[in-house]
Amino acid sequence: MGIAYQEKAIALIENVITSAENNPDTLSDEIVEIYTEAGAFHCYAKHYEISIEFYQKAITLVQSEYGTESGLLIKIYCELADIYNEMQNVSAQIEYLGYAVEIAEHTYGETHIQTADIYDKYSMAAINCTNNRILETATEYCKKSFEIYSSIYGENCEDTADCLFCRLILMYQLEQQSECYHSIKRLQLIYQALYEDDAEEWGDFYLFSAKIYAHFMDFTAAKKLMPLAIRIYKMHGNDDDAAKAQEILLTFE
C-alpha cells in the first residue's frame, strides 16, 4: 500500500468518523461498524496501536449502549485478538478470545456451532502458549468443539480432524503421553475416512506423530512414520518440509 494512498484513506476515514460522531441521527451500531472498519484498515496498514484504539472505542461504545455481555462484542474481541496475533502478543490474543468465549457461551449456549468456532480460535491460539492453565483450558475447549462438530457433521469431517489435531498438540505440550497416543490413533481413523492414502494432509500427521513418539522415547514407532512423511512431502512438491523431516529423522538414530 503506497504512502499517498494511505494518507488519502486515513483522511477519508477521519472525515467519516467525525461526520458520524457529530450526527445525532447516526445509530450506535453504525458508529461501532465505522470504528471496527477503521481499526481493520489500520491493522492492514500495520498501524497496530491506532488499530487497537479504534477497536477499544468500539468496545466502549457497545458496552455503554448494550451492556458488557452484548453479542456484538464477540466479533470485535475476535478481530482484536487477530491484531494481537499479528503483533505476536499471545497473552493479549488469548485474553480477548477468552472474553469472546464467555460471551458466546452466554449468547448462544455451550453447544452452538458459533460457540464451537470460538472454542476453536482459542485452542489454536493456545498452541503458542506455555501457560499450563491456558493449555488445559484449551484442551477442554477442543473437546467441546469436537463434540459439537461431531453432533452436526458426524465425527469424520475436517472440522473434527482439525480439533483433534489441535488437541494432540496441546496434549504434547502438557506431556500427556497416553492422551497423545490415544489422539494419534483416533485422528488416524478420521484421516483414513477423509483422505486418500497419498493425500497431502498425511504429511503433517506423520511428521508430528513421529515427533511425539520420539519425544516419549518410542523411536521404533517414530522411525516408521517419518519416512512416510518425507514421501508425502516429496510427492506433493514440499521439498523444504521433506528436507526438515529428513533432518529430524537423523536425530532418531
The per-residue pLDDT for range 180-218, each reduced to its tens digit, is 999 999 999 999 999 999 999 999 999 999 999 999 999
Q: How far apart are CA 61 and CA 53, in angstroms?
A: 12
pLDDT at 162: 95
Rg (CA), the chain: 22
Percent of the chain clearing pLDDT 70 (strictly above):
94
Kindly tell me the burial class for residue 103, based on how many C-beta atoms sit within 10 Å of its own C-beta (0-12, 13-18, 19 or more). Answer: buried
Percent of the chain clearing pLDDT 90 (strictly above):
82
Q: Which residue in this structure is represented by grid cell 468443539?
A: 145
Asked whether residue 93 carries a pLDDT value surpassing 90, the answer given is: yes
Q: Which residue in this structure is represented by grid cell 512416510?
A: 228
Q: How far apart are CA 53 and CA 236, in angstroms?
A: 44
What average pLDDT does range 134-153 have in this prediction? 96
pLDDT at 173: 96
Q: How far apart are CA 179 and CA 188, in angstroms?
A: 14
24 pLDDT tier (thresholds 50, 70, 90): confident
120 pLDDT tier (thresholds 50, 70, 90): very high
Q: What is the DSSP string of 130-146?
A: --HHHHHHHHHHHHHHH
For residue 125, give the nearest of 155, 90, 86 by alpha carbon. Answer: 90
**pLDDT (tens digit per residue) in 40-90:** 988 988 999 999 999 999 999 999 999 999 999 999 999 999 999 999 999
Question: Is the separation of the CB atoms in 112 and 148 below 8 Å?
Answer: yes
pLDDT at 3: 60
Asked whether residue 9 carries a pLDDT value surpassing 70, the answer given is: no
Q: How far apart are CA 34 and CA 44, in angstroms?
A: 15
pLDDT at 5: 58
Q: Which residues contact 197 (CB under 8 A, 6 or more apart)?
A: none
Q: Residue 128, SS3?
A: coil
Asked whether residue 253 carries a pLDDT value surpassing 60, the answer given is: yes
